[in-house]
Amino acid sequence: MDQSNASIGKTVRRWLVGCAAALVMTTAAAAQPAAEPTAADLLARANAAFAADRMVAPAGDNALEWTLAAGAIDPDSARVREGINDLYPLVVAAIERDIRSDREAEALRVIALLERAMPNSLAARQLRAKLDRRNGSSTAPVTAQVGVVQTAG
């Protein structure tokens, strides 16, 4: 009977050591930082969003934003430029649709993305001006507005 208990004790100890080793390996793997996505990874996400007809919405998970993120990693990528060129007419149409539907905040969000994608875009300037005329105000990007703060004293 003593040999049986000793055998069981060894088996339990081996099992506990195995569990501890697995726990250490799992903890070490979890502590490793996640690999940064590559431009190719982000373009794959852009293609998936495009295929799912998510050109500019939802915010943060759409073809245009994934393409812009890929361009931030690889600004000279021909695939990024091609993606932006493919998206351009669809993005402009989405902005026009938002303006017609009085979704000004969404239109402004997408205009800002279009300006990032194509900084010299005539369409982006015209769409921003169209919103300005509708509202009788300026929707120029805040980053472009510089002013001096005066203090009373």
pLDDT of the residue at 142: 45
Q: What are 56-104's pLDDT values in tens digits?
A: 999 999 999 999 999 999 999 999 999 999 999 999 999 999 999 999 9
| pLDDT of 25 above 60 | no
Closest listed residue to residue 92, CA positions, set 68, 73, 72, 64: 64
pLDDT in tens, 40-62: 999 999 999 999 999 999 999 99
Peptide bond into 141 cis (omega under 30): no
Residue 149's CB is within 10 A of a number of other CB atoms, namely 4
- Stated length of the chain: 153
**To the nearest whole percent, how much of the chain has pLDDT over 70?**
69
For residue 58, whether the previous peptide bond is cis, meaning omega lies within 30 degrees of 0, is yes
Looking at the predicted structure, is the pLDDT value of residue 9 above 70?
no
Q: Residue 126 burial (CB < 10 Å; 0-12/13-18/19+)?
A: exposed
Rounded distance between C-alpha atoms, residue 91 and residue 59, angstroms:
13
Least confidently predicted of 10-14, 33-37, 114-118, 127-131? 10-14
Looking at the predicted structure, is the pLDDT value of residue 148 above 50?
A: no
Q: Does residue 135 surpass a pLDDT of 60?
A: yes
Spans of all domains in the chain? 1-32, 39-140
* C-alpha distances in Å from residue 5, one per residue of 9, 13, 18, 19, 123: 6, 12, 20, 21, 82
pLDDT at 149: 37
